[in-house]
């Protein structure tokens, strides 16, 4: 079974990783929230062990992102936070269990075994299929895009529009083709509606400092690509 351990304290993470490996688990270790988010997003883990306080992104944020994808992988928090409010906040974020530092190794291993025996509590443990072009990803089921690991919320129309572009990278798509794909059976909208929708989408997926991916091909339509 595969475990992802995310903790910025190397003096804890490294020996804990060795102990878990001796117990027969395959363990990947990350030392900050950003690396933890990237590994968790790849899926394939049977358990996530997350420290609460991490550089870049907290364990709470990593857990929330995992749950936003419909991923039911069990999550165990390691933390020095021990108030009732802290526990409630962690559980509300989607954690399955919570152990306060410092802890007894036997207790942690027992909780790991218990979580790995527990059946998934969400209906969709599989990671949703995503469309991708370079550093841009689209999760159509949840109307979410990701660019440079930043989550972007999309409307239904923006999701359909981006999905169509991602399915036809580096191709010039005419206004008519896009209208038929995105607006489907409804009346074809005015040309300025498509232009306005495209502007809104570009603002979201092409923030300042990122390279533009959607290009206007004047007199024809649009192209996704470099």
pLDDT in tens, 154-213: 888 899 899 999 999 999 999 888 888 887 655 555 557 888 889 999 999 998 888 999
Tell me the C-alpha to C-alpha distance, in Å, between residue 177 and each of 156, 168, 192, 220.
Answer: 18, 11, 15, 10
pLDDT in tens, 61-85: 888 888 887 888 899 988 876 666 6
pTM score: 0.53
- C-alpha 207/C-alpha 1 separation (Å) is 39
Q: Determine the topology of domain 131-224 in CATH.
A: Arc Repressor Mutant, subunit A (1.10.10)
Say which residue, 129 or 21, is predicted with more confidence.
21
Q: Determine the topology of domain 2-117 in CATH.
A: Rossmann fold (3.40.50)
Tokens representing 118 are 């527990």
Domain range summary for the chain, segments of one domain joined by +: 2-117, 131-224
């Amino acid at each position: 079974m595969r475990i992802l351990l995310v903790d910025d304290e190397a003096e804890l993470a490294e020996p804990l990783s060795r102990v878990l490996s001796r117990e027969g688990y395959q363990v990947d270790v990350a030392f900050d929230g950003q690396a933890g988010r990237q590994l968790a997003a790849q899926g394939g883990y049977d358990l996530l062990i997350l420290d609460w306080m991490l550089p870049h992104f907290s364990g709470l944020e990593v857990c929330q992102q995992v749950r936003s994808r419909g991923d039911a992988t069990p999550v165990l928090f390691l933390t020095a936070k021990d108030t009732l409010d802290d526990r409630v906040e962690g559980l509300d974020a989607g954690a399955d269990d919570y152990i306060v530092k410092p802890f007894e190794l036997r207790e942690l291993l027992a909780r790991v075994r218990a979580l790995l025996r527990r059946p998934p509590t969400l209906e969709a443990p599989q990671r949703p299929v995503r469309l991708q072009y370079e550093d841009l990803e689209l999760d159509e089921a949840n109307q979410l895009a990701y660019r440079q690991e930043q989550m972007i919320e999309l409307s239904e129309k923006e999701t359909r529009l981006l999905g169509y572009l991602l399915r036809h990278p580096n191709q010039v798509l005419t206004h008519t083709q896009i209208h038929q794909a995105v607006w489907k059976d409804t009346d074809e909208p005015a040309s300025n509606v498509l232009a306005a929708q495209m502007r809104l989408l570009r603002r979201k997926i092409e923030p300042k400092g990122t390279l533009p991916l959607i290009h206007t091909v004047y007199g024809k339509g649009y192209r996704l690509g470099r």
